[in-house]
């Protein structure tokens, strides 16, 4: 039987208040200052790790899913706009099955949320699920948004624009031309975490376009582009293949 407080949980604001209270309480007993090793001073956190966030989400999951879709999105937006990493992770969990909500008429809403992410851990979470699914659903229109992130002054938006093309998107081979364009625009980015994002994207793109991407990475090495990028890009090479590649440079 549910505790009596569940029955008074009728509004998005009620849910948001209880979720934040639980995160704050969990943070008080946590041994960590943050939920990830994030260097940006804008990144806020309670110190709740992945298992703690999962427990809190499961506690409220049934109530959240009983809300109308627009209410669920409103709750997720509150969590993400808070700038607290743990709240953003829970907001993402709410949005993951609702990717179909986003299309060209409201990409600006998604853009506003992504601009609240101030760390590599959140960028990587969002690109690995929600943003991936939005791209697959909107292959002709969403790249326009990604291109604006690629040229933004904020390093997290630029990292987003390349890390999006890792994992399943890279393996699909559907966006390789555009992914290479995004990566090439950032080969001289000054931030290490943007460079690592470029290298990661190139590494994963080899899963569907190996010869082409290897030739491109070889070109980057010969142009003395940051070793952070090229070293990340060839991480999956090993043995004679890696030895042969390095000999060509």
Contact present, 23 and 46 (Cβ < 8 Å) = yes
The whole-angstrom distance between residue 164's C-alpha and the CA centroid of its chain comes to: 7
In a domain, 75, yes or no: yes
Segment 96-110 mean pLDDT: 98
**Nearest C-alpha neighbor of 36 from the set 74, 85, 79, 3:** 85
- Helical ranges in 140-234 per DSSP H: 142-150, 155-163, 167-172, 176-185, 192-222, 227-233
Predicted pLDDT at 9: 55
Q: Would 113 be classed as within a structural domain?
A: no
Task: Report yes or no on 136 lying in a domain.
Answer: no
**Per the domain annotation, does 242 fall within a domain?**
no
Question: Is residue 219 one of the residues assigned to a domain?
Answer: no
In a domain? residue 109: no
- What is the domain extent for residue 58? 1-101
Q: Is the pTM of this model over 0.85?
A: yes
Report residue 122 as tokens.
Answer: 């959140």
pLDDT tens, position by position, 6-50? 544 568 999 999 999 999 999 999 999 999 999 999 999 999 999
Structure tokens at 54: 């999962």
Neighbours of 142 (CB within 10 A): 21
Q: pLDDT averaged over the chain?
A: 95
CB atoms within 10 A of CB 15: 20
């Amino acid at each position: 039987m549910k505790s009596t407080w569940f029955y008074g949980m009728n509004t998005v604001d009620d849910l948001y208040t209880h979720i934040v209270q639980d995160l704050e309480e969990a943070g008080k007993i946590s041994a960590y200052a943050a939920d990830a090793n994030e260097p940006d001073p804008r990144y806020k956190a309670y110190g709740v790790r992945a298992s703690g966030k999962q427990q809190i989400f499961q506690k409220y999951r049934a109530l959240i899913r009983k809300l109308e879709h627009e209410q669920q999105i409103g709750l997720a937006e509150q969590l993400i706009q808070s700038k607290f990493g743990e709240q953003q992770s829970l907001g993402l969990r709410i949005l993951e099955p609702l990717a179909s909500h986003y299309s060209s008429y409201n990409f600006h809403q998604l853009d506003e949320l992504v601009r609240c992410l101030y760390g590599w851990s959140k960028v990587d979470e969002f690109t690995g699920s929600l943003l991936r699914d939005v791209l697959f659903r909107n292959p002709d229109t969403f790249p326009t948004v990604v291109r604006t992130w690629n040229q933004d002054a904020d390093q997290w938006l630029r990292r987003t624009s390349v890390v999006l093309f890792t994992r399943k998107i890279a393996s699909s081979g559907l966006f390789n031309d555009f992914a290479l364009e995004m990566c090439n625009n950032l080969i001289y980015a000054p931030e290490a975490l943007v460079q690592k994002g470029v290298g990661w994207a190139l590494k994963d793109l080899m899963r569907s376009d190996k010869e082409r991407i290897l030739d491109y990475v070889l070109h980057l090495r010969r142009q003395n582009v940051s070793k952070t990028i090229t070293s990340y890009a060839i991480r999956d090479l090993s043995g004679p293949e890696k030895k042969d590649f390095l000999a060509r440079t």
